[in-house]
Amino acid sequence: MNKVLVAYFSTSGKTESMAEFIAEGVRFNGLNAIVKKMSEIKDPAQLAGFNGYIFGSPTFSLDIPWPVKTFLKLFKNGDLNGKLTGAFGPYLHDSSYHHADYAPDKILDLLQKDYKTERFDLDALCLREDILETRDGMKACQDYGRIFGEKLNK
Ligand SMILES: Cc1cc2nc3c(=O)[nH]c(=O)nc-3n(C[C@H](O)[C@H](O)[C@H](O)COP(=O)(O)O)c2cc1C
């Protein structure tokens, strides 16, 4: 059975709730989705044995928060070669919204460049935090996970 790690960093619970909905979506197709806070993963061995990885991070100052950058350094060269990766996260301000400015997109760029990952077709899922409270927000997360799972099962 394909196994997916959903690892997230969250300060006020928004990224955490996205992580749970995304994992639900992954499970729709019978895949095993494990949800973990990045701070619970200290040993690179905990990152082994997954077929796909989905990383959750809020945007801080139009960048990836440092605990997320530190977490990503646990991966060694080659660990993620050819692995399917997705990323997601909430943000607050969309007045100057450019996908590429938000942490989830930056995470996928970094992983693709440094670890030769396979980028998920749907790219990163960035949601304004108030949308998360709505049914549409929940569904967007579940759909992201579901389509990620379908792609892995192919
Ligand atoms: C230090 C800090 C910097 C932030 N910088 C941005 C930003 O540049 N752009 C933005 O849209 N939101 C920014 N935010 C808002 C968070 O991305 C947003 O509230 C997010 O939903 C928090 O997710 P969490 O509850 O999972 O931590 C910032 C929040 C903090 C605490």
**64-115 per-position pLDDT tens digit:** 999 999 999 999 888 898 899 999 999 998 766 677 889 999 999 999 999 9
- Name the nearest CA neighbour of 21 among 88, 91, 110: 88
Spacing of C-alpha 71 from chain mean position: 13
Output the six-digit token pair for 29.
């197709």
Output the six-digit token pair for 113.
């460049």
Alpha helices in 6-126 (DSSP H): 14-28, 66-72, 103-115
**31-44 per-position pLDDT tens digit:** 999 999 999 999 99
CATH topology of domain 3-153: Rossmann fold (3.40.50)
Q: For residue 28, how far is its CA from the centre of ligand 1 (angstroms)?
A: 30
Q: For residue 2, how far is its CA from the centre of ligand 1 (angstroms)?
A: 32
| Residue nearest atom 25 in ligand 1 by C-alpha distance | 12
| pTM of the entire predicted model | 0.96
